[in-house]
Structure 1
Amino acid sequence: MLHILKKLTPALALAALVASQGPAGAQAPGVSDTEIKIGQTMAYSGPASSYGVIGKAEAAYFDMVNDNGGINGRKINLISLDDGYSPPKTVELTRQLVEQDGVAFIFQSLGTPPSTAVQKYLNQKGVPQLFIASGAGKWNNPEEFPWSTGWQPTYPTESAVFGKHILQTNPDAKVAVLYQNDDLGRDYRKGLVDAFGDRFEDIVVGEATFEASDPTVDSQIVSLQASGADTLVLAGLPRPVAQAIRKAYDIGWKPTLYLPSGSSSVSSVLTPAGLDKSVGAVTVGFLKDPTDAQWADDEEYKAYAEWMDKYYPDGDKAEFLNAFGYAAAATLVKVLEMAGDDLSRENIMKQVESLDDVAVPMLLPGVTVSVSPENHSPIRKMRTMRFNGEKWEIFGDLIEG
């Protein structure tokens, strides 16, 4: 390049030199020599408010990172705004984060309907929509939405695992499905269709839907009990899942329960439902359960517990969602470390797509994070778990979706 520059005018030479240095000279908005400003919408109120601890955990994780010098000398500034799980509010606040607050990218915003509402906007503007806190399959569509990625295993993958487990353990099962009337619920139903195939209409004897804002799901549970089902697959937010568990038990219906991983927290779902009413429930896991004594001497768990004590003392160590936020934040830190001093949006996305079997603290042994330009579903491995009345117990082999 230098021998070419000698033949150019000074102005052209400078332009050529800048071009030769690539995007490193043009950092993303919100990036300075001392700061990386990132944005997030989270349900601190509304029907999904139990998930709000994720945002609090991530903020606390970044506090720890900042106290340790930040990322290459830059502190992470997370602006986390309450959208109440309302898509119109998500649109308003995401535009504010991008156009007024000038964030570099959006990180771990919560929920399928809210994140769907801003996906086209963010992709059209070339703003990374990273590690969305939702298992919807739609986030893995890099051809149409190259700036969006999920983080956790997808809902269709989870429910397909449930379907396979049902066929293996109870081939003559009569299954009822209660699912949220949105992408989350429909994704769960799709996974069962994939698993049951041509037998779906014979196996599934009852289906009912509900809205995330419905005050109860009691009538749906009564209706599904009348179907004669001996197995109940639930797909929804923590509050309606807890209500469904409690109502089924209270009316004397005791089907085998299958719960989404995102609505399987002991403290925010099973305890409100009644621990005794949740015995035998099945879910899938990809994170170390903080309530499981087998991790008591695990180095990653001990680091997690120390972090909670110092940076998040008001939080609950036993809350699965705090471990979720901890691990998701650690994934982002890895990406930013890989990006080095080139914090352009293009390079940040390039580093996300370079993640290859990356170990992240608090993921189960054998579970790693991988993203490629062709696959934006970072976590594809999980284990089946059963609730024993106190905690979730892992059983079965590691499953890759």
Structure 2
Amino acid sequence: MRARSLVAAAAIVLSSLVLVACGSRASSSGTTSAGNKPAGVSNNTASDIGVTPTEIKIGTIAGLSSGFGPDTFSASLYGARAYFKALNAAGGVNGRTVNLVECDDKGSGDGNANCAHKLVDDEKVFALAGVTAFDYTGAQYINSKGVPDIGGQPVSAAYDQYPHLYSIYGSYYPRTGSRPGYNGTLYAGTEIYRWFKQNLKTNVAGVVYYNVAPSERYAKSIADGLRKEGYTVVEEQINLGAPSWDATVLDLKRRGVQIVFDAMDDGGNAQLCNAIESQKLPITAKVTPPQGWANNIRQVYSASPNCRNTIYSTGGTANYADTQIPAV
């Protein structure tokens, strides 16, 4: 998680700090920007909220003490810490040091709202970066204050909803502040599922997910897409507090599942693969989203090498030259 968070943080930071030069919030601060003066501390001005001649203040929210443990909703925080430390060691941004202000929302909606007010009202940050929130209750407030937020590992739909929130994965939906999607309807392509059906000759798929809303939403999207492509779909819900991995896999085996998709984190996938291996489920592929494909895959699946060797990672990219795509 931490290794890929470094990459995410790099994109987050560069996107956020480019806004400083553009003076994206200068109109709300009532101050003037540095204009075309040469770079250097002596020529810097207090050009915006959270931007002084010597400092840029960036906020971040993570669930370090959430009920899911200290690592579940904090991965992007570690990447942000490391990136900003390296950036400051290299001279910062035009002589300004980046000051990362952290807030632990404890994985709760109330805690998240408190963090939003603390960072915006008390700390007066210029922008947010690397936020990973289980319940992003404070998103509407942050958006209403015009504070840019480039999410670290978005969990909720807030980054598909509010115009001042930007997902590192991009969003094709109009971010008007109302419900995400087009008139509240979310769309997704089915080409991924068609590829597996045509190339791996599979027609019975399992979808495994947690009994929490974000996981359930993503699992429903997967299941709907699979059914559109003619799959028989077996949906399996995992109780996050008391998971029954072996029972789940035995049910998948009994119902003839050939390929397994999931809406879970790395830890859950490791446990699922352990059960797939121990119960000898003869799957053709174990499919994970791009977030589950990182340089720690050897360690995550060390106890289930056969399952690991069936893992596929799905994803889609758009070239920067594809200007016919609105998101690009």
State the TM-score, normalized to the length of structure 1: 0.57
Name the structure 2 match of 1:179.
209
Q: Matched residues in 1 for 2:289 and 2:188: separation? A: 7
1:1-400, aligned counterparts within 5 Å? 24-25=32-33, 27-46=47-66, 47=68, 49=71, 52-111=74-133, 113-115=134-136, 117-134=137-154, 139-141=159-161, 145-152=162-169, 160=190, 162-180=192-210, 181-194=212-225, 196-197=227-228, 199=230, 203-210=231-238, 213-218=240-245, 219-255=247-283, 256-267=285-296, 270-271=300-301, 273-284=303-314, 375=327
Backbone CA RMSD of aligned residues: 3.6
Q: Which has the higher helix share?
A: 1
Distance 1:159 1:120, change over 3 A: same
2:213 maps to amino acid: D
Task: Look up the equivalent residue of 1:258 and give its one-letter code.
Answer: V
Distance in 2 separating the partners of 1:87 and 1:239: 24
What is the number of residues matched between the two proteins? Answer: 269
Q: Provide the residue aligned with 1:353 in structure 2.
A: none
Counterparts of 2:238 and 2:209 in 1: how far apart (Å)? 7
Residue 15 of structure 1 corresponds to which residue in structure 2? none
Q: Are the counterparts in 1 of residues 115 and 138 from structure 2 also a CA contact under 8 Å? A: no
Given the superposition, is the C-alpha separation of residues 69 and 119 from structure 1 closer, same or farther in structure 2, using an over 3 Å criterion?
same
CA distance 1:86–1:102, change in 2 (3 Å):
same
Flag the 1:118–1:65 CA change in 2: closer, same or farther, 3 A.
same
Q: Is the 8 A contact 2:218 2:263 kept in 1?
A: no
Q: State the Cα deviation string for residues 56-84 of structure 1 (Å, max 9, x = none).
A: 22212111211222112211111233334
TM-fit CA distance, 1:204 = 3.1
% of aligned pairs identical?
18
SS at match of 1:114: coil
Instruction: For residue 77 of structure 2, give the secondary structure of its aligned residue in structure 1.
Output: helix
Tell me, in whole angstroms, the C-alpha distance in 1 between the residues paired with 2:31 and 2:196: 51
- CA shift at 1:124, angstroms? 2.0
Q: How has the CA–CA distance of structure 1 residues 263 and 66 changed in structure 2, closer, same or farther, with 3 Å as cutoff? A: same
State the Cα distance separating 1:177 from its structure 2 match: 0.5
Alignment deviations for residues 145-192 of structure 1 (CA, whole Å, 9 cap, x no partner): 1111110267x9998454132222234420010123323441343145
Q: Which runs of 5+ in 1 are unaligned?
A: 1-17, 287-363, 379-401
Q: What one-letter code is carried by the residue in structure 2 that aligns with 1:228? A: G
- Structure 1 residues 266 and 66: alpha-carbon distance in aligned structure 2, compared to 1, 3 A threshold: closer
Q: Which runs of 4+ in 1 moved over 4 A?
A: 135-138, 156-161, 366-372
Length-normalised TM-score, structure 2: 0.68
Instruction: Tell me, yes or no, if the aligned pair for 2:190 and 2:228 is still in contact at 8 Å.
Output: no
Please state how far the C-alpha of 1:40 moved relative to its aligned partner: 0.8
Distance 1:194 1:206, change over 3 A: closer
Q: Distance in 2 between matches of 1:153 and 1:245?
A: 30
Query: 1:105·1:127 contact (CA, 8 Å) conserved in 2?
Result: yes
